[in-house]
Structure 1
């Protein structure tokens, strides 16, 4: 059964009512038990050092999450990569490469466009990927994208993002909820960061802070937002959001949490005449592009609006003569930025001791 990410969340959150939804939640609850046992068993093997953890020859900072779908890791990875480059560190990003077909996936393409001097390696064997970055690129520090659950590779620190729209995965492990592992695993984190913090009230943010303090009292806390910056075309042209105010447009996305993209449009007082969502890392085949064009023309849309992840895959300023633009977002801290930067200082200093012969000029 294929269901959209939004429908799945409506079911597991309890928002979708009725006998069918209730029975499905009951079934998912039964499946949750063996899945949780397997995850806990795996974590236990690493905790007791029965499963081998491969220690890398350079600092590794993991950026990950507890839940399925998008929590905003890519904006944070780009922020970190830029910060480290500004501090003369030869940094590389390492990911599994999920969704990559015949080349780099959407996250790698997005990083390449925004930070062309930062290598992005994609390898399901992250241990091999680290060794390649160290030996072939003289890398001094690795940013491990989506690495919290990948415990086979040792790391210097774990940063875990919680999406303010569903910080605790509806209190259940997949498939009954959206947690990848039990909430108790949060105590492995060194930093917990609340993303899209502006999407909830201060009172709700305080509740999340208190819950995290109970689960992981020693972690550093920060809160950030994904601030819409401008409209971006594949050729690099930028425009103000005001250009959409008086024209009909349709919007679509293929990301882990489509609700977040809808929320971004709402925050800009922009209302698409129709919205279409795809699975995360959606491959835009010729057939799918033709369907997008037909859909936009049926709606008499003057523009197609998507996320940067979608734009880098489509790589065109227009589809069927209809302008295609992405909402560019930038990560901004609303609390904890200075303490987070202070926390990063030791990693910068340690990285400079790796391949010192290649240290960049200040």
Structure 2
């Protein structure tokens, strides 16, 4: 199954004009079947969207503002880091956020968010039925009436004052991976785009990586292009043009994943500086949506040599995977006469940390990264927060930015 996923993933990111050159005969033979499945998927999308539009399917509305953070393509777009970023901003401003996540793939995103947001007023609800999950949390903690102007005025306050203003009552709900979750009404739609492979081969699943047609960007309130630091200026301009052709007035921001520190498997409280891997041989092991950005980030830190083993998104490591990793480590040690270090992402650590202990005596480090907004054309972190605040105010109180 893992091998099939890799084959299909390569098809999804190969432009039709390059298929004959880059795809194997087996992959080429799969294209007619995948194309037919994509046609069925497109029909299902159309029917589902219109059933909600016509009111046949019910859309639940929460008594607090709902911010959706989603994407158009599978994996690696930075949805969860953006949820982390927005949640921390809200919590530091004295507004308690409720994060609603489905808990897919062992709940790795939820575990990572719990660690990052520990000690704040943020709450995390895990469950496929996010309306029901939200109802339970709202009943337990209560909520702040968003129609009171003072609610969003807090977002303009000094972050250091957040702890004094803090309330245990829920002020905002945040949908992690929420763009296609139509059963819950959202007031603000943030769409994340992977700048390194923004649209794949421009085809819908499973032939391509698009979960919806590109025209779905018209529903967005703001688009954020992640990994923009790893993309050429020419490609950045092409992404901007594509987005503006769909919705000219759509604000576009740019972000990167900034490595912060390492921690050892089994001891997440002990932070190690990035220089811990300087001039060392590194094996990056990951089962995330887009491993290239992770590997390139490690290469920039200053390691002697970086190798990598990539698995499909949310893959659970098995005994045979550990053996494969161990063999690669032994080969690297023989080639460089130096004991290599395994570096994994936080999502991989949170999925199943215990199995990584079987790599002993090789050291396993976990890279912790934070999403940062890259200033471009006047779009900064401050202007991004002001825009979100303004959009929420317009939705609920009609106030204009001061």
**Partner in structure 2 of residue 357 of structure 1:** none
**Deviations along 1:126-166, whole A, 9 cap, x unmatched?**
11011112111332211110010000111111101010011
Which one is further off, 322-331 or 226-235? Answer: 226-235
CA distance in 2 between counterparts of 1:278 and 1:263 reads 16
Residue of structure 2 aligned with 1:190, choices 210, 221, 226: 221
In structure 2, the CA distance between the partners of 1:44 and 1:218, relative to structure 1 (3 Å rule), is: farther
**Partner in structure 1 of residue 329 of structure 2:** 296
**Partner in structure 1 of residue 350 of structure 2:** 312
**Partner in structure 1 of residue 152 of structure 2:** none
**Deviations along 1:20-63, whole A, 9 cap, x unmatched?**
33332333222211111111221122233332111111111010
In structure 2, the CA distance between the partners of 1:176 and 1:347, relative to structure 1 (3 Å rule), is: same
CA distance in 2 between counterparts of 1:295 and 1:12 reads 28
How far does residue 238 in structure 1 lie from its aligned partner after superposition?
Answer: 2.7
In structure 2, the CA distance between the partners of 1:339 and 1:149, relative to structure 1 (3 Å rule), is: same
How far does residue 107 in structure 1 lie from its aligned partner after superposition?
Answer: 0.9
Which one is further off, 242-251 or 200-209? Answer: 242-251
- Match of 1:229, SS? strand
1:93 aligns with 2:93: no
TM-score (norm 2): 0.79
In structure 2, the CA distance between the partners of 1:254 and 1:315, relative to structure 1 (3 Å rule), is: same
**Deviations along 1:204-249, whole A, 9 cap, x unmatched?**
1111111101112232211111112232324233333333233323
Task: Name the count of aligned residue pairs.
Answer: 349
CA distance in 2 between counterparts of 1:266 and 1:7 reads 26
**Partner in structure 2 of residue 133 of structure 1:** 137
CA distance in 2 between counterparts of 1:350 and 1:123 reads 30
CA distance in 2 between counterparts of 1:331 and 1:261 reads 13
Residue of structure 2 aligned with 1:229, choices 255, 260, 272: 260
**Partner in structure 1 of residue 162 of structure 2:** none
> Highest Rg: 1 or 2?
2
CA distance in 2 between counterparts of 1:148 and 1:123 reads 16
**Partner in structure 2 of residue 329 of structure 1:** 369
TM-score (norm 1): 0.87
**Partner in structure 2 of residue 3 of structure 1:** 3
How far does residue 347 in structure 1 lie from its aligned partner after superposition?
Answer: 6.7
Which one is further off, 34-43 or 316-325? Answer: 316-325
Q: Please show how residues 1-362 of structure 1 align to structure 2 within 5 Å.
A: 1-3=1-3, 7-14=7-14, 16-100=22-106, 105-116=107-118, 117=120, 118-138=122-142, 139-234=170-265, 235=267, 236-270=269-303, 274-284=307-317, 289=322, 292-293=325-326, 295-297=328-330, 299-300=332-333, 301-315=339-353, 319-334=359-374, 335=376, 336=379, 337-346=381-390
- Match of 2:238, SS? helix
Which one is further off, 68-77 or 147-156? Answer: 68-77
CA distance in 2 between counterparts of 1:260 and 1:290 reads 25
CA distance in 2 between counterparts of 1:242 and 1:7 reads 36
**Deviations along 1:275-309, whole A, 9 cap, x unmatched?**
22223223346675566456534543431111111
Contact residue 112 and residue 350 of structure 2 kept, 8 A? yes
Contact residue 6 and residue 259 of structure 1 kept, 8 A? no
CA distance in 2 between counterparts of 1:190 and 1:351 reads 12
How far does residue 6 in structure 1 lie from its aligned partner after superposition?
Answer: 5.1
Contact residue 91 and residue 143 of structure 1 kept, 8 A? yes
**Deviations along 1:63-102, whole A, 9 cap, x unmatched?**
00000112111211111111001110011211111122xx
Contact residue 220 and residue 340 of structure 1 kept, 8 A? no
Which one is further off, 273-282 or 116-125? Answer: 273-282
**Deviations along 1:315-341, whole A, 9 cap, x unmatched?**
479641322112221111113233321
Which one is further off, 2-11 or 156-165? Answer: 2-11
